[in-house]
Every structure is written in structure tokens, then in C-alpha cells.
Structure 1
Amino acid sequence: MASAVEEYPPADKFMDKLTSAVKMDRDSGLAMLTRLVKGVNCDEGERKHLIKLLRSQIASNFTELGNKECVMNGHFSDKKLGCLSASLILITGISDVEQEQIHQFVIQIKPDILNIMWDQDVRVRLTAGEVYGQICKILGPSVYLESKSAILEMLETEFQRNKEIEGMIKSPETPIDPTGEIASSEPHSSSSSSSPQLGMSPVTTPSNPNIMLCDVLKEATHIFQSASSPGAPAPIDVAMNLGCAQLESTLKCLQFIAKGLGTQFGPLIDMHLLELIFPSLHHQNRFIREAGFYLCATMIESGIDLKSFGKRLAKEITSGLEDFCSQSRIAAGVACRKFMMNLPQDCTEFLPIVLPRLCLCRYYMADTKFLLYSQESWKLIFAMDGPQLVGKYIDDMVRYYVEATASDNHAVREAACLCLGEIARKIDGKIVAPYVVGLMETLKRTFLDERWHVRDAACLASGSFFVNFPSQCQGLLESVFPLFFENLQFPISIVRQGAAAALANIIRAYGTAVLPMIMEKIIAGLDGIENQSSETSVNVDLQVFNPQLKYAYSPCHEANPPQPWEVGDGFMYLIGDISQISECQIYLPTLVPLVLKAAQHRSYSQHVVILETTCKIIPCIVNGIGKRPFKEYLQQCFEPIFYSIECENSMTAAAGRACLKELCTIYGPNIIRSRVELYDPRLDSMQLIIQLFWNMSCYSSPWIAQIQIYQQWEEIPNLINGFIAYFTRIPRNDQSSSKNCKDGCETFLKCVVFVGFLAILQNVVIMWKHPERPYYLTSMIIDHPEARSKFAYNLLFLLQIWLYLNAWASVAFIVFTKCIYAYVGSEVLKSLRQYNKKDKFMFVFSVNNVVQTFFKRYRSYQVLQNSFNSCFQDFWVPAHSALFSCIFIVGSYGSIRLPGLRAVVMGAVAALALLYLSLMSRKLGDLHEESTRVIQSWKIQGLRLTGKILKSMQPIHVKVGNFIDKSTPLMICQTVINITINALLSV
């Protein structure tokens, strides 16, 4: 479906929107013009006609707006902005077919655009510069050549005006009248020297910069007088800001021209232009410096003659890499990257200038964005040849790095120290060796820097030199040692870590020559933590430092005396670093107890820092001392680790979790878990609770049996006697045998008795070996194994054995009763079901006898079952099921949570309990199923007499609440397993 044609307003109303004083109207008009130029939803003929009218009106407006008075006074800024933006859309959006019309349009507006570039409004100047850049792109270098002298004079005038304002700021005695005029002793000339004609415009460039300066001061005075705030800036400050903004816009306009001309601009660059631009790279205003560096980058990209101007250009743009302002540094980094990427392969004379500065920027930590950009530039430019080039120009690299250590920018000093350390690590030692002593003296000087991160970088770099050039640095060891130990006890953790790494490098370099002295200091420092006062002020170390924030803190030149915990924390980091050094590993068994002892002192608020460090170094010590030797200390490590994990300090808690995870990786999760279970004091009470429930569950069996016997002391013997009498009345030839087990349930009962015997024997042996365990009666009088010969001990020992025997006797009684009843009852019902399948002929003639026999046997068994239900359904069977379910739950929980042999025993008993529950429930459920089959099999015969009798018979139910059927075992297993899983997950 075709879209509707958009109706555009007439050309005059279109221009009213484009030149409106309301920005929203201008934006709406520009959006409408963009759609018109692209031909969106409009008739082609009307589009061309409307664009033609708009071009004509814009050109006529430029003639009016480009006159001298309008430009110099900054009038109609909104109208200028609208016309310029519309011109930019018309120039850049027209297709190739309409290039001839647009060519005529740009020729017509070119002089006025150049005049408007002098406007006082910075927005207008920038937009005019962008339009003029597009004009240069269309008409070629001739446009720039025609206006070159005027543009350069404009740029020179802006610089001169800035110098005048800076001089006035430095000399506040300069008189200024209320109108903003400068009281100068030299009278201004009423006539101005004519400048090169700018197209058709009468605007000329003033010969005296004070004329333009007066205009700026008048505008600044007007701003000052209109400000109602008492703290409003003075006119001279406003003038300075306006002057800098106009100079910045002029540089950006020149950049637009260079970008528009592209590679055609390169041959047009001469030294005069560069001499005008280079001062902007050192201007006090950061926006001007940024604009100047981006202009240099555009000129390099346009193909400037690097052989003629490269050396001076390289020196100027690399100076911006040390700029305090991040935007200026990034702009200088862009220019340097373009300079090196456009450098010919055989042109290496500029590398001594660019290479050291670009290399240093890779370590400029104060600006992460600039650091990453510099690292990417290094990879793009030098790829894998960086170390070789640094070694080739080592003299220039070292000279620049030494100069950079004295820079006013603290981040440059830090980066210089890091670069010196990189030279020691990565460059061939034969190349660096002649410079080692001088570089070490430089680093020794930077140790006294007021900034802590500079001292930290110097410490790390010194350690790299000691480990890579031990013979050359040995003479400086005595003088540098105090500086290392001073950093090792500094209030900030990052500095302590760096000093520990540097001292570890010294030990790697000199070994036993310095090791005894360092070990004495380590032991003294760890022992000193116990002297830490609890009334110390909150230390700066508790604050979180990161590369983004660390430069926001004060220099920390005059630090307080180190606290004992700070000294001990530094030595802990040193222990973690030296644990991998073979010469130090013999000292680790002595140091580990001291570390763990230091972690126990928690009377001061900063103890969380010590705990964090302890958790950090434990995995390092394990790897250094070895898994097996460290096992004797493993149990002692859990207390500080778990204390750290539960700590409110997030960094300490994270270190504790990381340490425990690392130990699980080293030793394996199962070993750590068993050790944790042995350590955790909460697990001791858990073990007692589990054992208590286990004993209660196991020893409750005889009590349940005794209670049931006392309640049914007459009914139970009658039930047993009736069951025996019933079974004996069944002829042998009518009894069926089990298909699965030839001896009925005898094998199962023998297994139960055998398991009970083994359990009793095991408990007797364990009680004999460990009578002090709290779940034995012997623990009440025995504190030591030597007291086993006492009479009370023997009495309690025998009483404990009697309890075991009584418990398993009760279990056997319950199991035998239910098992025999279930097995035999099932076989009886099977015999009744098979009774009617005998000889059909005999069945027809003796149907009355058969039916009467079946009826008597089934009715007798129903009476027997009712007696069984009345004896056991209310208490014994439910309690018995609940008891064995509890044994399974507690046994399963204990087998997972408890360590040692008890877990195995409890797991085995729990499995037997679940097996017994499911087996007994299934066999008792078979009685219901089998009785249903019996009744159904007799109903199939279809005899009238049989049907009347069977109507009065119901299936047999073994009742526990309702009754047990085929699904009861599954329900019991599901219930106890769910309870066990929930218990495990809840703790």
C-alpha cells in the first residue's frame, strides 16, 4: 500500500520555521527539510521546485546576515544557525544528479559563509566552519587558497586577543571603563587597514586586535551587569572564557576545512600554518589544546609532508601525552597514532621522539580510557616488535624515563617507574646493564616521592632490577632495604603488597645472604600484632582503593607511625610471596603457626584486614609447603576462614570464600568437608542430637512391644493360639508352597537375626574400645580408659549389652510376628483360590462339601484377621511403622552428616529399615489383593448356592488407619525419603 504524500509548507513559511528563534521549531523544520531532500513521501517535481526556492531564500538571507555589522555584533544568531544548518543539509543530502545546482548554490553562499565565520556566537562559527568545509570538499583547494590569508589572519588575531586578555589577568591594574573599553595610551585608529577581499562582502579584518578585544569586553561587561548573583564572574574572566571559546571554534573550523579537502589539504600545509597552530597545543585552556591536537591529527591524515615537518610535529604532539587533562591526552594519543600509522616504513628518524612517550602512556594509570587506547595503539603500530625497538633505542628510552620521573604530573612519574621495571624484566640484560646503576639511583630518589603510588611503582621496579641484575645492584642493597621495609608497613594495603613482592625478588636474587635477617623481622612483626591497641583511629586501609579512585586521595607524605597490625599485615603478604621460593620453604612450618596466631587477635577494629590477608596467603602457603605437610595445620585454618566468611566486611568475606574454594580445589571437596565437619563446633551438638534421636528410635522398639503386650495381654496369646490352630486344621495336601522361596520366610528371618547379631557384636567392640563416648552408659563414670577394671564399669557394660539384646529381641519379636502372619496368611488365601480348580467332575458331585469347606476356612480367617486388627491396628502397627520410618530418616541423615564408621552403620540400618517397611507393607497388602482374587475366582463358577454365600463375604483388610493395599509401600517410601531430603536441605 503506497504511503500518503506529505504536504510541505510554502517556501516562505518553511524558512520561518528554519530561522525561528525557538529551537524546537528550528529542529522541526530541519527534520522536515531532511525528509524533503531525501524525497520521502513527496512529488519529485514539487520537491525540486521547493528546494530551488529554499536555496534562493537561504542565499539572500546569507547576503543580509553576512554584513559587517551583523557579524561583529552577533545579531540574529538563531536565524544564522537555521540557515547554516539548512545549507548543510542541502549540500550533503543532494544526489549526484543535482550536483550542478548545488555547485551554483555553494559558489553563491561561499563569501557570506566565510564572513559569518567571524561571528561572535560560537555555535554559529562552528556551524559555518562545517558548511565551509563542505564547500571546500565540493569546489576543491581553490576555496582555501582564496581565503587562506584571511583565515590565518583570523587565527593569528584570536591568539593575539587571548594574549592580551591573559596579560590583563596577570596585570589587574589595567584600567577598564564601565563600557568595557581599555584605557590605552595609544589612540585607536578610526580607520582600519583593508584586508584581502572576502568574496563580495565588505567585512574587513581589523589591524588592531584591541578593536576585537573591546568587543569581547563589552559583551563580557553586559553579561556581568545582567547577572544578579553577587558571586558572578568579573568581566575580565568572562572575556577570557569567550576569547578561548572563539579560538577553539576557529581551530575547529580549520579542522572542518582540512577534513573537507582530505588528501588535497596535505600539500597546502606550510610552516607558517603550523607555527600558528602549535601554540594552541600548549595553551592554558584545555579545550583549545584538545582542538589543536585533533586539528593536527586531521592534518596528518590529510597527507602532510612528514619528511619536512615530521620532526617538529612529532615533538609537539607527543608533548600532549603528558597533559594533565584526560581529553587533551586522548586527543594527543589520536594524533600520535595517526602520525605513526602514516609514517613510511623507511622513516625511522622520529622513533626516538615518539617511541618513549608512547611506551610510557601504556602505564598511565590515572586515566583508564587513555591507558587502554595507548596499549591498543602500541599493538597496532609495533605488533610484536616492541621489545626489539625499545632495546634499539634504549638510550633515548632511558633518558626520557629519567626525565619523566621528575615530571610535575604524578601519574607520569608513576608510569615512568613502571616502565623502568618493564625494561628490567623484558629487555635483554646485556643492553640494559650499562644503565642499571643510574636507573637504580633514579628509583631510589623516587622512593621519597610525596605520592604513595609513585613510591609503590618505584618499589616494584627496584625489585625487578634486583632480581634481574643482582651483581650490579648489590652495592645499593643496604641503602634500599630501609625503604622497602618502610613501604612494607605503609597504611595502604596496595603499597604493602608491592613492597612484599619486591622483597620476595630480593630473596630470589640473594637467597641465604639476606634470608635470616628478613626472617627475624617477619617473626618480630607477627609477634607484635598482639601489642596492637584497641583504641586506634580508623585506618585509611579500610577504604576501598581501585585504579579509578586512588588518585583522588591526598599525597600521604607525612604518615603516622605504623601500627603493629600494619607491620604484621605487610609481613603476611611477604610470607605469601616467599612461600614459592625453595630457600624459604624450610621456614614455613615455623611461620604458619605465627600467622594463625596473629589472626586470633581481634580486639581492634582493623583485625578484618589481617583476616583478609590470612585468607589470601593460605592457598599460597599450601602450594609452597605441600599438601601433605600442611594437613597438620588445616584444622586450625578453618576458624579464621569461617570467621571471615561471616564477617560484615565484604572484602574479608569474599577473601574467606575464595580461600575455602581454593582449598577445595587443592585437597578435594570431600576431604575439606570431612575436616570441616570435625572442626565445626556446631556439628558437635548436631552429632549429639542425631545420636540421641538414633538411640531413642532404636531403643524404643522393646518399649513399644512391651506396651502392646501389656495392653493386649489376653488377646495376643489368643490370636497366636488361634492362628496355630487354624493352620494345623488345614490338610497338608491343601497347603501351597511359595514359588520365590522354598522355605517360606525362614531365610528372611535368619537374615534379620544375623544382622542383629552383627550389630550387637559391633556395638560391644566399639564400646570396649571407646567406653567414654557419650551415647554409652559407661561414659557416665569413665573419663579415662584406665578405669575399665572398676566394678561400676563392668556393671554398666553388661547393662548396655542387655539393652542391645533386649532391643534386638523386641525387633525379632515384632518382625517374626508380622512376617510369619503375612507370609502364612498369603499362602492360606492362595490355597483357597486354588481349591476350586481341582477335579471338575468331583467338584460337581461334591459342590456342597467344597463350598462349606471354603466358607468355613475363609470365615475362620476373617475372624482371625479381625482379631489381628483389634490387637494391632490402634497402636502397634502405626507405632511400629512410625518407629522404623524414624530409624530410616535419622539413619539416612546421620550417614550423610556424621563422619566416621557411625555414618556407615547408620546408613546400613536405615537401608534395612526401609527395606523392612516396604517388604512388610507389601506382604500385608498382598492379603487384601489375594482375598479379592479368591472371592472373584469363586464367583466365576456361577453356582447359585455359591453366589448367595459369596455375597456375604468381603475382602480381608489389614487396617492401619484405613487398610494396607498394594500402593502402601510406595507411599511409605515417598514419605520418609521426602522428609529426609527436607531435613538435609534445611541444615
Structure 2
Amino acid sequence: MEATNLLSTLELLCAPKKLDRERGEDQLNNISLTSDEVKLVSSWIEEKLEGLSNWEDVFGGITAAIILLRNVDYGSLVDIGIVGKLEDQVVQCHDNPEFRVRIAAGQLMGSLCRHAGLSLFNRYLPTVIQGVITNLERNTEAPVSEAELSLRELNIAKEHSTNLSSSSLSIFHDTAGWKNLETWMKCLQEMVSNLPSKDFIKVDKTNILELTFKAVQHVNRFVRETGYDVLSTMISRHLCYTEPEAKEPTYINVATQLVKGLSDNWSQVRMAASRAVRTLFEVDPPSGFTRDDIYPILLPAMCLNRYYVAEGVRIYSQDTWCRVTQGEGRRLLGQYLVPAVDYYIQQSDADNHAVREASCASMAEIVTKLDSKLLLPCVGKLLDALIVCFGDESWPVRDAACVALGSLISTFPNETRASGHDDLMASQFLRNLNDSIPSVRDGAAKSIAAILKSVDDQNLFQHYINHIVEKIDGLSKQPKESHGAESSRVSGKGPGASHVTVHSGDAAHDSRHTDQVMYSCGSLAPKLQKGRKGGGCHDGLHQRTSEPWEEADGAIRLIGQISNMFPNRVTDDLIEQLLKGCEYRNYTHYPYFLETGKHNL
């Protein structure tokens, strides 16, 4: 290849546009370099790294060095002297203000460690550890980035808006960048992943593990996420024991740290921890330990995340559960039921409403899928936790708690009455049956029908029939201008379903949901304080009074569920009530009421 063409390819590595840089990488990767061309590229790399001024030049030089190490014989690179210069200069690149340069520098250090082995790893390790330690704490007097300034402006705006419920300090620490900490952690990950396994076993992991544990507990969620990625890499390199046959207590410590990540308020952190958990189960446990030692620690959180609102976490967790349990999930959950129940109850009190919803779904699962004899000692604890969630200010949580309670009470009606709920919580279920959210009303109707089927209580049955008559008669009081969520648009059930209320007409311009700050699902606003109004696409904390048509809608949903459970009890009077409700057509939302009536008829 002509020198001019080779230089043109190299200059593409320093192009301002990412597409051009990637094109340069592809071209250089596909070139079979002669010894003279290797020397030319080496000289070009030295020139680019010596300047340390323009970030694109430095980035291009590092990229070319990584490609050389990948495609050219390492011994020949040592002979021409480029390796020694790279080993010395690459550390300086971590002072570059451009994060892409620092990330590339970490990749280059990993490539060098792959070839040079333990000696170079031990040479770099103190510098990397010091880089992490130095950046673990923020210098509040240092200049801040534009993103951080925006967050501070948001905090100032909070003082003038009742809709912003989060503390400025919490938002600032949990979202703002933390200098070079993340890139130093990525560098450590590259070094660990590239060091040959036979060499990594000889490394003293005490400082690395201590540093990683600090990172996964850091106040900033980006640092926690990177920390779990590093931990996952270290687990894959047999972090949990020094020698293949040695016994190390770090196996339990690692599992304890992982469960904190599986319970994190940020979905990205949960995902990183989930990847690390899968890796932990893919690696054989150290001698003297079995998976039974970490099952009670990790299984409850793994099980709960199968219902988490973030789709990526939910699907990944479901797949991990299948891989780990191999069809024995029900047996394992029954075996470790007590820690699972305790974890679900703990998570039902989490600040993040999406976590509370997932915990209710998990409690419903163990009630419906496990032997009732196993659950009997836990009924009281489950009942108390679900009753609290039944009154949650977030409607998806109320909905999930209602479904779970319906399953629990229908399975243990006597135990529920023994706990002081003689009417089997009829008043609470009727409150949900009257809710302004269609899916909440539907869940309440199904739960009530399941409870009625489990007990032979004519008084309780008549109590619900009286409610149906009362609410359908109440349609005569429905104003012409009605409000509410259309059932066809809010039809999702369970975690991950869309819980968005569609507003129309004057309601679409209501100040409560106009020009307000919005947040990421399951992250900032929902996690900060349980039950407070904070915005976000799942905000169900503003609970308006239900209208007569919505209460009647719940009543005919109950008629439909009763007809499924008790076909012989569907009398002409009930059908008359349903048809009577469909006669009222003087309000805006009557088509949606008719839709429910038609479905249940």
C-alpha cells in the first residue's frame, strides 16, 4: 500500500465525524501491514500522542495503537520500541478532558496488559486505584458542566413549584457526572478482562474488591452502574477465590453486594447488577461453597425483578431465572420462602412506586403458585403489607395490591377473619371498585368474585349486590360533562403496562399536567418519597373523586365477574340492572360505559 494512502487512512482516525473515524478503523483493520508500514504507523502514533492537544488526534493515535496490538506480532512491536512508549504515555491520556480519549486509553491499557501480563498489570494498578480513590468524592468548588448547571437550575425552580418534590442535593449527586471516576472504573474493567486468567489468579484482589464495593454503593447512579459492570467482569475472572481450589468468604460478600444492585431505584443499575448475577451463577462456586449458600440472598430479588416495570430488566430477569432454576423455580422459591416473603415486604415499603407494584405482584405469585400449607405461617405478614399497599397513593400499586389481596383472602378466608377483618375487607375492595381508573375497577371486580367463590357467605354476597344496585341507580345523578379514562386506552394490566390517563377537552389544558417537569420511568420523581406528588409518566398520585358513571362501570364489571363464578346466581334482576345502566346516555363518556356493558353482557 502506498504511504500516502496509508496516511490518509490514519488521518481518518482523527476525523471530527464519528462515521469517518469508524471508516478509518475498518480500513486499517483490513490492511496487511509490512514491516516498513508498521514503523510508519508507529511513528505516526508517537507524533499524535506527544501533542496531547487536539482530542481527535490523541483519540486517533490510541485507536491506531489498539489496532496494531491486535493485528501485528507483539514481539516485533517491542523490537521497534513502540510498546515501551505506549506503556509510558497512555497513563497521561487519563488527564485528557475528553471522556472518549479516557475510555480509549483504558482500552489500550487493557490491550497492553493482555500481551505483557501480570508485570504491567501490577505496574498500572496503583495508578488506576489512586485515580478511582481521588475521584470518589466530588469537589464542590470545582467548575461544573452544563448538565450540572441545568440540574442546579432545576433545583432553583423547585423552590417555586410544588410539583417538584425531590431534594436538590439528591438529584445533583445521583445524576451529575463525577469527574473521571467512571472512566477510571472502565479502565480497571478493561485491565481485568484482558489479563490472562492464569495471571489474574495471582493478583491480590483485596484493594480491587474493596474499591469495587465502594463504587457499587456510591451516591451517583452512573458510578454504581459502572461498578457492577466491573464486578461482573471480576466475577467472570474467578474473583471469589484466589486459587481454583481455595475457599474464600468473598463469595457471600459479592452476593450481598449484588442484591443491593438488584434493589436499586435506577433501572440501569438494576440491569448492570442483573448481568453480574447471571455471571455469578455461570461461574462455578469456590471449593467449600454451593449455590445453596447464595440462593436465599439472591433468589428473592431475582424473582421480584421478573415483574419490574422497566422492560429490559424484566425480560432479562425472566431469562436469568429460567437459566438458573432450570425448571425448579417453584420448588426453590418454596424452599426459601421466608427470605423471599421478608424481601417482598421490605420492597413493598420502597420509595419507588414501581418497586412497590412489583413487590405486590410477587406476593400475588407466591399465593397462587405455592402450596397453601407452606404459606400459612406467612399469612399475617403478607396481609399487613398488602393492606398498607392497598391504601397507596399510586394507583398501579393499589391495583396490584388489590389483586394480590384477592388471591390471599380467597385462599385464607378464615385467617383473614381471625386477623380482625370480618367482612373480608369488603369496604377496601369496594373503594377500588369505585376507582377512577378502569383497570383498578376491573381488578377489584375479579378479586371480589374470587373471594365470594371461596366462602359461603350469603350476607357478604348480598352486601355486594346492594352495592351494584346503589351505584347503577346513581347514574341518574351523572352530570352531562363527564370525565375519566377510556377503558380501551387504559387496558394494560400488571407491571410494564401503560398506566397513562388520556385527557381531552378542557382537561387536556389543566395546569396540573401542563408545562410540568417530567421524569424517567421509575427513576427520579417516583423514587424520592413514597406517596408524594412528583410528576412522571406513571404519576397516579393525584386521585380525583370518581364520577357516578365510573362507579356504575365498576358495578357492571362485578356483575360480569359474578356471572363467571356463579352462573346460577345471575338472576333476571342483575341483568335488569345492567340494562338499566345502559339506558343513561346523557353524559360524554356513555360510549365507554356501553363498551363495558356489552363486554360483560
| Matching residue within 301, 312, 316 for 2:253 | 312
Cα distance per residue 1:274-315 (max 9 Å; x no partner)? 221222223333322221111111111111116431222212
Q: 1:232 to 1:458 in 2, by over 3 A?
A: closer
- 1:248–1:288 Cα contact (<8 Å) kept: yes
Cα distance per residue 1:624-662 (max 9 Å; x no partner)? xxxxxxxxxxxxxxxxxxxxxxxxxxxxxxxxxxxxxxx
| Partners of 1:461 and 1:269 in 2: CA distance | 49
| Partners of 2:563 and 2:154 in 1: CA distance | 63
Cα deviation, residue 52, structure 1:
2.4
Q: Which amino acid aligns with 2:596?
A: T
- 2:409–2:451 Cα contact (<8 Å) kept: yes
- 1:491–1:541 Cα contact (<8 Å) kept: no
Alignment pair present for 1:100 and 2:75: yes
When structure 1 is superposed on structure 2, of 383-392 and 542-551 the one drifting more is 542-551
| Matching residue within 337, 345, 349 for 1:406 | 349
Structure 2 counterparts to residues 473-872 of structure 1, below 5 A: 473-475=416-418, 476-478=421-423, 480-513=425-458, 514-536=460-482, 538-541=483-486, 544-545=489-490, 546=492, 547=496, 549-550=498-499, 552-553=536-537, 555-557=539-541, 559-582=543-566, 585-618=568-601
TM-score (norm. length: structure 1): 0.50
Alignment pair present for 1:427 and 2:349: no
| Partners of 1:429 and 1:617 in 2: CA distance | 32
| Matching residue within 89, 107, 114 for 2:91 | 114
- 2:395–2:540 Cα contact (<8 Å) kept: yes
Q: 1:136 to 1:591 in 2, by over 3 A?
A: same
Alignment pair present for 1:465 and 2:408: yes
Alignment pair present for 1:82 and 2:82: no
User: Partner of 2:211: helix, strand, or coil?
Assistant: helix
The answer for the alignment partner of 2:218 in structure 1 is: 283
Q: Which amino acid aligns with 2:36?
A: H
The answer for the alignment partner of 1:261 in structure 2 is: 195
- 1:326–1:367 Cα contact (<8 Å) kept: yes
The answer for the alignment partner of 1:52 in structure 2 is: 39
| Partners of 2:422 and 2:450 in 1: CA distance | 12
The answer for the alignment partner of 2:531 in structure 1 is: none
| Partners of 1:242 and 1:76 in 2: CA distance | 25
The answer for the alignment partner of 1:440 in structure 2 is: 383
Q: 1:305 to 1:445 in 2, by over 3 A?
A: same
| Partners of 2:23 and 2:545 in 1: CA distance | 67
User: Partner of 1:478: helix, strand, or coil?
Assistant: coil
C-alpha root-mean-square deviation of aligned residues, in Å?
3.2
- 2:205–2:239 Cα contact (<8 Å) kept: no
| Partners of 2:402 and 2:21 in 1: CA distance | 60
Alignment pair present for 1:129 and 2:106: yes
| Partners of 1:410 and 1:101 in 2: CA distance | 59
Q: 1:490 to 1:240 in 2, by over 3 A?
A: closer
The answer for the alignment partner of 2:526 in structure 1 is: none
| Partners of 1:242 and 1:473 in 2: CA distance | 48
Q: 1:243 to 1:505 in 2, by over 3 A?
A: closer
Cα distance per residue 1:916-961 (max 9 Å; x no partner)? xxxxxxxxxxxxxxxxxxxxxxxxxxxxxxxxxxxxxxxxxxxxxx
Cα deviation, residue 443, structure 1:
1.1
Structure 2 counterparts to residues 179-218 of structure 1, below 5 A: 217=143
| Matching residue within 442, 455, 466 for 2:398 | 455
Q: Which has the higher helix share?
A: 1
Cα deviation, residue 375, structure 1:
0.9
Alignment pair present for 1:375 and 2:318: yes
Q: Which amino acid aligns with 1:252?
A: K
The answer for the alignment partner of 1:272 in structure 2 is: 207
User: Partner of 1:362: helix, strand, or coil?
Assistant: helix
| Matching residue within 1, 4, 7 for 1:9 | 4
Cα deviation, residue 441, structure 1:
1.5
- 1:129–1:254 Cα contact (<8 Å) kept: yes
Cα deviation, residue 20, structure 1:
6.1
Cα deviation, residue 445, structure 1:
1.5
- 2:471–2:555 Cα contact (<8 Å) kept: yes
Q: Which amino acid aligns with 1:347?
A: R
Cα distance per residue 1:316-369 (max 9 Å; x no partner)? 2221223232222211111122122325382322222111111111111x2122
- 1:414–1:457 Cα contact (<8 Å) kept: yes
Cα deviation, residue 523, structure 1:
2.4
| Partners of 2:538 and 2:28 in 1: CA distance | 55
Cα deviation, residue 532, structure 1:
2.1
| Partners of 1:575 and 1:301 in 2: CA distance | 56
Structure 2 counterparts to residues 868-879 of structure 1, below 5 A: none
User: Partner of 1:315: helix, strand, or coil?
Assistant: helix
Q: 1:411 to 1:363 in 2, by over 3 A?
A: same
| Partners of 1:81 and 1:457 in 2: CA distance | 51
The answer for the alignment partner of 1:247 in structure 2 is: 181
Cα deviation, residue 233, structure 1:
12
Q: Which amino acid aligns with 1:120?
A: P
% identical aligned pairs? 28
| Partners of 1:589 and 1:88 in 2: CA distance | 80
| Partners of 1:288 and 1:351 in 2: CA distance | 27
Q: Which amino acid aligns with 1:594?
A: Q
Q: Which amino acid aligns with 1:134?
A: S
Q: 1:330 to 1:25 in 2, by over 3 A?
A: closer
| Partners of 2:597 and 2:405 in 1: CA distance | 26
The answer for the alignment partner of 1:34 in structure 2 is: 29
The answer for the alignment partner of 1:342 in structure 2 is: 283
Q: Which amino acid aligns with 2:470?
A: A
| Partners of 1:458 and 1:287 in 2: CA distance | 32
Cα distance per residue 1:104-156 (max 9 Å; x no partner)? 54344212112323333211110010111111111222211122112111111
Cα deviation, residue 22, structure 1:
7.3
- 2:131–2:181 Cα contact (<8 Å) kept: no
Q: 1:564 to 1:11 in 2, by over 3 A?
A: closer
Q: 1:598 to 1:233 in 2, by over 3 A?
A: closer
| Partners of 2:16 and 2:154 in 1: CA distance | 27
Q: 1:91 to 1:400 in 2, by over 3 A?
A: same
Stretches of structure 1 lacking an aligned partner (at least 5 in a row) = 1-5, 169-215, 619-987
- 1:448–1:455 Cα contact (<8 Å) kept: yes
Q: 1:258 to 1:509 in 2, by over 3 A?
A: same
- 1:368–1:548 Cα contact (<8 Å) kept: no
User: Partner of 1:371: helix, strand, or coil?
Assistant: helix
Number of residue pairs matched by the alignment? 531
The answer for the alignment partner of 1:643 in structure 2 is: none
- 2:225–2:268 Cα contact (<8 Å) kept: yes
| Partners of 1:297 and 1:106 in 2: CA distance | 29
Stretches of structure 2 lacking an aligned partner (at least 5 in a row) = 157-168, 242-247, 500-520, 522-535
| Partners of 1:479 and 1:398 in 2: CA distance | 22
Cα deviation, residue 450, structure 1:
1.1
Q: 1:520 to 1:53 in 2, by over 3 A?
A: same
Q: Which amino acid aligns with 1:117?
A: H
Cα deviation, residue 59, structure 1:
3.8
Cα distance per residue 1:840-864 (max 9 Å; x no partner)? xxxxxxxxxxxxxxxxxxxxxxxxx
Q: Which structure would you say has the larger Rg?
A: 1
When structure 1 is superposed on structure 2, of 492-501 and 291-300 the one drifting more is 291-300
Q: Using CA pairs below 8 Å that are at least 6 residues apart, which structure has the higher relative contact order?
A: 2
The answer for the alignment partner of 1:914 in structure 2 is: none
Q: Which amino acid aligns with 2:461?
A: L
